[in-house]
Amino acid sequence: MDYIISPKRLPRNLGILGMTLPFILVIGDRHLAPSISHYYYTNLGIYFTSVLFAFGLFLFTYEGYKKKGEQKVTDNFITNIAGFFAICTAFIPTAFNELDLKLVFGGPNAHRSEIAGTIHLVCAGLFLIIMGYLSIFRFTLSGKTKSKFYARRYKLYKICGWMVWICIAFLGVEFLIHKSFTPYDVFFAEMISLLFFGFAWLVKSQIKSLKYIGLVSEAELLDYEQRCPVCENPTDQSKKAI
């Protein structure tokens, strides 16, 4: 059986996983941790690491735009790097925080090492920084002058990317001045980053539901179905979209 990877489903899945991750962790554990990474030390640790691995695998598979003009790298090269950092973030969890009594020390890679914790923070930060870069500079390569739908998506990509970067910059400043406003600053900054990163990928997928909020046209949907009929309508039993 031949399998076809739908160019819509990868960004759609990335978007859904990114936007739902913080809410599933909080609701599932019924506990607000100091950061999203600290959910590794809860009963949802497996789900947390599984989503990070999914990020990595999806990003390794994503192709995106090819090199154009003077560009030196492809989208695939950039997303491969982001995927590597996502998987490193899963392999090397944050350091165990004993100040939060609701966390339980455990897991195959549990540790209290400041060095390993710093590596985790760097990998997580670089992953989100690359996600912001993709939204600002790569997703916008389709332009904004072709139609009002392109213009709207162009603006949204820019907003999403900058919001991811602003959140990371905020955490960087707090780290430098060794001061936080609340015990959950990291969690909420990461949550906002994931919401905007996820929404950018969801818009990139151009799923049908986006037409109801004016982000994709009927003509674009029809054109995609004509170019990849099996991806949207797998009627041929010898092929299946994944």
- More confidently predicted of 241 and 22: 22
The encoded tokens of residue 62 equal 């994503």
Average pLDDT, the chain: 88
**Neighbouring residues of 150: CB distance < 8 A, sequence distance ≥ 6:** 142, 143, 144
In this prediction, residue 208 carries a pLDDT of 87
The residue type at 210: L
42: pLDDT strictly greater than 50: yes
The residue type at 197: F
Measuring CA to CA, how many Å separate 139 from each of 43, 65, 199, 230?
36, 9, 12, 25
- Please write down the HEC assignment for all residues of 106-121: CCCCCCCCHHHHHHHH
Rounded Cα distance, 231 and 4, in Å: 7
Helix (H) or strand (E) holding 21: helix 9-29
72: pLDDT strictly greater than 50: yes
In this prediction, residue 1 carries a pLDDT of 42
Q: Is the pTM of this model over 0.75?
A: yes
Model confidence band, residue 7 (pLDDT cutoffs 50, 70, 90): low
Of the candidates 195, 202, 144, 205, the one whose C-alpha atom is nearest the C-alpha of residue 166 is 195
**Neighbouring residues of 187: CB distance < 8 A, sequence distance ≥ 6:** 22, 32, 33, 34, 35, 36
